[in-house]
A = this chain, B = another copy of it.
Amino acid sequence: MFFIFSNIACESGDFIATDLLRKVSNLARSDTRFREAYNRLLDYCETLQPGDALPAENELSALANVSRTVVRRCLARLEDCEVILWQGREKRILRKPASADRLELPTTRAPADDLEQRFLDWILKFDVPAETPLSVAELSRMFDVPQHELKEFLAGLSRFGLVARRPRGGWILRGFTRDFAIELSEFRSVLEIDAIRKVADLPVDHPIWPTLEDLRMQHLDLKARIDSDYHEFSKIDETFHQAINSVVRNRFVEEFQKVISLIFHYHYLWNKADEKDRNAAAIEEHLAIVEALEARDADAACRAAVKHLKTSKTTLLSSLRHHDLG
């Protein structure tokens, strides 16, 4: 189709008709990239004066961060709209672009990165039971995300054993069974004990130490007013574990921590039984870890951490039992 422009660009009126009047039709792929590039080129044109020459296509493509193919599509349209004159390598500004020249962009959807958070949120909030069949079509509507994106997402989750392919197509939530909770807890323990050991070995000028001291103060502060403010612990808990794990710079660990922390966070929030006592006990356990670390006693810190993680696991499991009964 582009051959139309190659030599007699200024006469290609028939292209305008098919291009501009095209309905919001069956686009196999959105042309957002083209639209954004076009607007960016309009911006650039505004910095120039009528009669000025535009740089080479390659330069423009670098400018708009798209391929030359898109740039040429943009140039074609700029010419159709009589913003520029385009003939071979002669590209001249005809007039300053008006705001009416701009192309509308589709309303941006929630970023795909957010899908994980929202999905786990949903699973945990509604306590979707294990072995629930997951309908890609339904989830797609629910989260307003194209089906193929969801399938890729689920394929990723299957690597964590959270979901699995069903024998006859589709997916199921392998979900939050007792085994899953145990294995998750144990995996978490392995990673976190290692983190603790690494913290204990860090030099005195490492930023973790002021952070830990600050956390110790926060724990003491909350401990003093635990009777009324015990629900604040959930937040401190997350910060604490995040701080400990932050010293492990490892892509594999990081990937898992995201999932782990979310799951534990939620389950703690819901297990309301004995919440005050549990939190008070957890504060003591955290303090024991911090104090052992500050004393650079790695072994004591590990023992304290093992104890705390064991409590965590028990709490997680009891929260499951609670759910099963209710």
Contact = CB atoms under 8 A, between A and B. Distances in A.
Contact of A183 (B153, B160, B252): B252
Nearest to A183: B250
A255 B160 contact: yes
A183 B253 CA distance: 9
Interface in A241-292: 249-253, 255-256
What does DSSP make chain A's interface, helix, strand, loop or mixed? helix
Interface stretch (A84-92, A96-104, A187-195): A187-195
Interface string A144-164: 000010011101101111000
Nearest to A250: B183
A183 to B, nearest CB: 5
A183 B191 CA distance: 13
Contacts of A251: 161, 180, 183
B187 A252 contact: yes
**Total copies of the chain:** 2
Contact of A159 (B180, B249, B255): B255
A253 B187 contact: yes
Given A190-B190, A194-B190, A252 B184 contact: yes
A186 interface: yes
Contacts of A158: 156
A304 to B, nearest CB: 18
Given A148-B148, A190-B194, A191-B190, A252 B160 contact: yes
Contact of A155 (B153, B184, B191, B194): B153
Contacts of A160: 159, 252, 255
B250 A187 contact: yes
A213 B251 CA distance: 36
A300 to B, nearest CB: 16
A207 B252 CA distance: 31
A300 B284 CA distance: 32
A297 to B, nearest CB: 17
A323 B180 CA distance: 41
A57 to B, nearest CB: 17
B159 A250 contact: no
Interface of A: 148, 151-153, 155-156, 158-161, 180, 183-184, 186-187, 190-191, 194, 249-253, 255-256
23 contacts: A148-B151, A151-B152, A152-B152, A152-B155, A153-B155, A156-B156, A156-B158, A159-B159, A159-B255, A160-B252, A160-B255, A161-B252, A161-B255, A180-B251, A183-B250, A183-B251, A184-B252, A186-B250, A187-B250, A187-B252, A190-B190, A190-B194, A252-B256
